[in-house]
Amino acid sequence: MTDRMDEFAEYRQRMNERISQIDHLGIKRFFNLDTTAYHDGALDGKTKELLGLVASAVLRCNDCIDYHLIQCVEAGWTDAELHDALNVALIVGGSIVIPHLRHAVETIDLLRARE
C-alpha cells in the first residue's frame, strides 16, 4: 500500500534529480550547502537533524518536517524526544504551528508503523 510517505519520497527524489539537471551555479551551491550543513561538526548530524525539524516546524514547511522526521527516526530519536523538540517549535512559533504539529505527529505515526 502506498501512503503519503512513499509519495513524498518518490516526488522528492524525482524533483531533486530534475533540479540537478539545471545548469545554475547558485542552485547547485545551495543544494550542496544544504547537504553538507547536516554533516558532523561541532554538533553531530543527529542533533542537526533535530534542529532542522524544529526550524521546519516554526517555518511551517510540511515537506521539510517530513524530510527531517525521516532523518530523525533513522538517527534513533525517540517519540518522546521528537515530541519535546516539537514542543520547542510550538513555543517559538506560536499557535500557528499547531496544524504543522498535527502533520508532524501523523508523520511520526506513519514512520513508526513501518518499523
* Residue-range domain boundaries for the chain: 4-113
Q: Is the pTM of this model over 0.85?
A: yes
**pLDDT, the chain, mean:** 97
Q: Strand, helix or coil at 76?
A: coil
Fold of 4-113: AhpD-like (1.20.1290)
In this prediction, residue 34 has a pLDDT band, given cuts at 50, 70 and 90, of very high
Coil/strand/helix, residue 21: coil
Residues 88-106: tens digit of each pLDDT: 999 999 999 999 999 999 9
| Interatomic CA distance for residues 64 and 73, integer angstroms | 14
Model confidence at 3, pLDDT cuts 50, 70, 90, reads confident
